[in-house]
Amino acid sequence: MFDIFIESHFSAGHHLRDYPGNCEKPHGHNWHIKVTVRATELDSLGMGIDFRTIKEAVNIIMDDLDHCDLNSHPSFLDRNPSSENIAVHIFDSLQNVLHSDRYSLFSVQVGETQNTSVIYYGKQ
């Protein structure tokens, strides 16, 4: 079993609707993302999945989220753009793309800071 991951980031603003504190006010983060793919076996080149394949898929999502007001993004019109919901959005967007008979998406980690993050493993 191999866990292969890449890290990425995007910058965006958001606010948490109905939150009882400062996070209800518009503010921004430099979000840190870690996407992990789990491979059960290696290909003929000795790789579980090419890092480039993961990066290309993740970059499409990052470009869509980067420098936007997440509350206005279609994925967050009816749910708060919390770290948890952002992780679900990224996971759901990548799940079918990063999947084969040898590997599948394992987790998405989303962090608002270096010291705070959430990891989503998909629906078990």
| Residues annotated catalytic, as ranges | 23, 67, 112
Is 27 within any annotated ligand binding site?
yes
Is 29 within any annotated ligand binding site?
yes
Spell out the residues 6+ positions from residue 24 whose beta carbon is closer than 8 angstroms to its own.
Answer: 15, 16, 17, 18
DSSP letter at 40 equals S
Question: CA torsion, points 118, 122, 124, 19, in degrees to nearest 10?
Answer: 50
Q: Are 61 and 32 in contact (CB under 8 A)?
A: no
Beta strands in 15-116 (DSSP E): 27-39, 103-111
Is 73 within any annotated ligand binding site?
no
Could you tell me which residues are annotated as the binding site for Zn(2+)?
A: 14, 27, 29
Could you tell me which residues are annotated as the binding site?
A: 14, 27, 29
